[in-house]
Amino acid sequence: MLSKEGLFVVDIYQEWSGPCSCLIANLRRLKNELGDDLLRFAAAKADTIDALEKYRGHCEPCFLFYAGGVLVAVVRGANSPKILRTITEQLQQEHKVIDGQSERKEIKDPYISQLESQEKLDEDDQEKEEEDAKSRSQSRFAKEGKKEITVCLIKPDAVAAGKVPEIIADIEAHGIEILKNEERHLTEEEVRSFYSHLQEEPFFDELVSFMTSGNSHVLVLTKGRTGENVISEFRDLIGPTAVEEAKEAKPESLRAKYGEKTFMNALHGSSSEDMAMRELAFFFPDYAAPPAEGKPKLQRTLALIRPDAFKNHKEDILATISEAGFKVAMQKEMQLTREMAEEFYKEHKGQDYFEELITRMTCGPVLALGLAREDAITGWRHMLGPTEVEKAKSEAPESLRAKFALEETKINMLHGSDSEETAKKELEFFFPMEQTVAVIKPDAVGTKDEIIDRIHESGFRIAAQKETNLTRELAEEFYAEHKGKEYYDDLVEHMTSGPTYIMVLSREDAVQGWRQVIGPTDPEKAKEENPDSLRAAYGKNILQNAVHGSSTAEHADVTVKKIFGDLKFAPDGTVIAEDVPEQQEKKEGEEDTEAGEGKEPTNETNEPVLSEEPTEKTQQEPVTTSNTEKEQTAPEFKEEEKKEEEPPKEDATKEESKPAEESKPAEEESKPAEESKPAEEESKPAEEPKPEESKPAEEAPKEEEKKPESPKPNEEQKAEEPKSEEAKTDDAKVEEAKAEESEPKTEQTESNEEQKPAEEGEKKEEEKKEEEKKEEAPAEQG
């Protein structure tokens, strides 16, 4: 209709106000006087027409003039003379256009243009703020060790209306601290400089005139110990720039409560960290932001909503908890048995109220909450009020125990831990320690550090972690429970597209707790239902939703075994290290080595594998063996050489070195072997010596010759002196000479020579040694 030739005058209105009826008579009279068929009138409800969406909240009233489908004029307000004059002028112009004497000039509604410009500025500020947040993990304030601050202007309209005390009270009620507050009358030069980024806007001169019309208050704000996020939180508190939009979209915002219209919106707040620093330097060039006090440490406490309160007041209590700034880290609804209730309240047993307390705790389901806040224990106890209901009603009528008390019982309806130690025990009672698997998917690995910070803030302990590129086989096994679903292939493809960070998290009620932290699968749904969740913050879509968590404890156990193997966990959630038993095995292996090189160790555990590694090490590195090791290995060689060496040599060595070595496990193990040896030796001379039996004979002189190569302590030398005096016969000297000749050979050559048949001369010498042993052994035992 509007695209036809002619002039259409449209009255834009909203349902709450209706059309501008006071001008209807004047418009009819004008149409009758002019008698022009090109003039038409219409009324349009902005509430129901999408094309007029921007006029919602901005009808005051408003008349739009359309010619040939384009906007040619706008008149705001019920200004009858101006409307009639505009109709006459535009009607004449439309006739000229139809006659070809002129062209239509399309315009934009200046007011809507102004709103769009402001919205664009806000969007740009928001985008810039988001870009700044992505480009740096730490704010400039934090890097300098300073609190984050923002600058607030209470504009002349609010100051003139006497709203400053109310505005300050609202700001402080939201936990925001006012560091500086100065009243100033801004000069035109100051305003133009301060709002220089808006100087191209059509309303700039009006803005300058307004800001210089009276006094303003300049405030420097921060929050908490670090001031983190105070800029965005204050922007959210003051609401949208346009007052009409603020009243409709955020009626509780400060601009909705105290603003008038457009830029007369009562307050200004810094749009970004850079703007905050610029504005701080502009108003307070000599002021420095205070130092940050460090990141607050979250405290956890247990809150119990007993059955009666849970049944009747659950939502009210949860809303109060949220308003007080508590974060519900864990939540569980459960029915307590009498035994569980008695165990939990066992310290109250014997009190007059004990039976009634147990009855109340078991009459229905309770809601157990793990609350987190900087001062969670004292804060929650303060909200609860005194333990006795009557005392709570008289001394703290606004406390939860007073508000939700039952008349028929003296038992209060809520419980809270009274100390950190008690809180830990009570949380473990309702939320036992368990493990879950957390996965940072390839699309979010770049934000790994931020996600890990959130994990720690939520009270989780990272028991094990691994960054890896999943193979397709492992990804398919990892998501086996989803096999057959339409998104399965896409999921596997995504999980193998890049590095994945996998963690085992430990905490009370870890499975459900982690799923609460990550939020719903769909990031869009997460933003609505759980805006603080990880998927709301880092997820892109259902497939690329940043993180994953096990659905059940059983599923977590299976996944842990697939990725990390068979881990064992301590009561505090840490992984029990497996290196302790390995060290014990190593020690046992060393003891086995000391028991002898030439034969299989005679340990009680029957684990020859453990003794093989240190034995090989001893053979391969004889030269680098320390003196202490040599002292320990001396008895080893003696045990192996008993069949070929003279027993007095062993005894003399043992007696001399016993004071230094009596604590060595090798000697303790070798003693029983020595006592049982003579019986075996008596039977061996009757047997014909075999080639295999000659190996120890060859090894003995070899080892004896190796020993003098490195310097020995005095005790060892003393042990060798009687040995050389009593035992060095002509035959032994021959053997030593042979050993010296074969010493340069490698161990491999020596082992090959050990396998060769012994020469006839050597066999005779060995037989002589055996006869000498037989004669001297009884004397030794005696």
- Residue 190 sits in a domain whose CATH number is 3.30.70.141
The dihedral over CA atoms of 662, 663, 666, 668, expressed in degrees to the nearest 10, equals 70
Is residue 592 included in any domain, yes or no? no
* Same domain for 405 and 442: no
* DSSP H/E element including 91: helix 80-98
- Dist. CA 752–CA 746, nearest whole Å: 10
Q: Distance between CA 485 and CA 353 in Å, rounded?
A: 56
Q: Provide DSSP, 138-168.
A: S-HHHHTTB---EEEEE-HHHHHTT-HHHHH
* The predicted structure's pLDDT at residue 327: 87
Q: Is 155 annotated as a binding residue?
A: yes
CA nearest neighbour of 16 among 66, 74, 67, 61: 61
State whether 196 and 260 are in the same domain: yes
Q: For position 764, what pLDDT does the model report?
A: 62
In the chain, the amino acid numbered 308 is D
Q: Please, are residues 101 and 93 in contact by the beta-carbon 8 Å criterion?
A: no
Q: How many domains does the chain have?
A: 5
Q: Are residues 62 and 186 in the same domain?
A: no
Same domain? 363 vs 498: no
Closest CA to 321 of 367, 361, 365: 367
Phi and psi at residue 166, to the nearest 5°: -65, -40
Does the annotation list 146 as a binding residue? no
Query: Rounded to whole angstroms, how far apart are CA atoms 243 and 261?
Result: 5
Residue pair 440/546 in contact by the 8 Å Cβ criterion? yes
Q: Is 255 annotated as a binding residue?
A: yes
Residue type, 344: F
Nearest-10 crossing angle of helices 273-283, 110-135: 100
pLDDT at 583: 42
227 and 260 part of one domain: yes
**Catalytic center residues:** 268, 415, 548
Strands 327-334 and 414-416 come out as: unpaired
What pLDDT sits at residue 294? 60
Question: 541 labelled as ligand-binding?
Answer: no
Amino acid at the residue 488: Y
Long-range contacts made by residues 107-114, C-beta under 8 angstroms, separation at least 24?
Answer: 107/71, 107/72, 107/73, 107/74, 108/71, 109/64, 109/71, 109/74, 110/74, 110/202, 111/58, 111/74, 111/76, 111/262, 112/54, 112/55, 112/58, 113/202, 114/201, 114/202, 114/203, 114/262
Q: Given 522, 545, 564, which residue is the final one in a domain?
A: 564
Do residues 598 and 697 touch, judged by C-beta distance below 8 A? Answer: no
Mean per-residue pLDDT pooled into runs of 10, the chain (782 residues): 78 83 81 84 85 79 87 87 89 88 85 81 75 58 80 93 92 91 93 88 88 94 88 92 89 90 86 90 89 74 94 93 89 93 93 93 94 90 92 91 91 93 91 92 92 89 92 84 86 92 92 91 92 93 92 89 88 73 43 40 35 35 36 38 41 40 40 40 41 39 40 42 43 48 43 46 64 52 38
In a domain, 684, yes or no: no
Q: Are 545 and 533 in contact (CB under 8 A)?
A: no
- 270 and 362 in a common domain: no
Task: List the domain range (segments joined by +) for residue 64.
Answer: 7-107
Does 751 map to a domain?
A: no
**Distance from C-alpha of 449 to C-alpha of 296, rounded to nearest angstrom:** 18
Residue recorded with tokens 């939860």: 400
Residue 118 is assigned to a structural domain of this protein: no
Look at residue 23 and tell me if it is in a domain: yes
CA distance 617 to 622: 8
Domain boundary among 564, 579, 614: 564
- Give me the amino acid identity at 278: R
Q: Are both 633 and 777 inside the same structural domain?
A: yes
Contacts of 140 (CB under 8 A, 6+ apart): 273, 277
Say if 367 falls within a structural domain.
yes
DSSP 559-603: HHHHHH-S--B-TTSPBPPSHHHHHHHHHHHHHHHHT-SSS----
Report d(CA 754, CA 208) in Å as an integer: 107
- Asked if residue 779 and residue 646 are part of one domain, the reply reads yes
Q: Domain check: are 452 and 397 in the same one?
A: no
Number of Cβ atoms within 10 Å of the Cβ of 493: 12
Question: Is residue 577 a part of any domain in this protein?
Answer: no
- Cβ contacts of 376 within 8 Å, gap of 6 or more: 298, 299, 300, 301, 326, 423
84 in the same domain as 28: yes
Where do the DSSP E strands lie in 374-430?
Answer: 414-416
Q: How many CB atoms lie within 10 A of CB 139?
A: 19
Was 234 annotated as part of a binding site?
no
Query: Which of 89, 107, 125 is the C-terminal boundary of a domain?
Result: 107
CA dist., res. 584 & res. 587, Å (int): 5
635 and 768 both lie in a single domain:
yes
Look at residues 597, 637, 616, 644 and name the one whose alpha carbon lies nearest to residue 758: 644
CA within 13 Å, CB half, 371: 30
CATH assignment of the domain containing 102: 3.40.30.10
User: What CA–CA distances, in Å, run from 346 to 343, 488, 579?
Assistant: 5, 51, 40
Residues 652 and 772 placed together within one structural domain of the fold = yes
Q: Is residue 498 part of a domain?
A: yes
184 annotated to bind ligand: no
Q: What is the pTM of this model?
A: 0.38
Residues sharing a CB contact under 8 Å with residue 357, sequence separation 6 or more, in sequence order: 341, 345, 348, 411
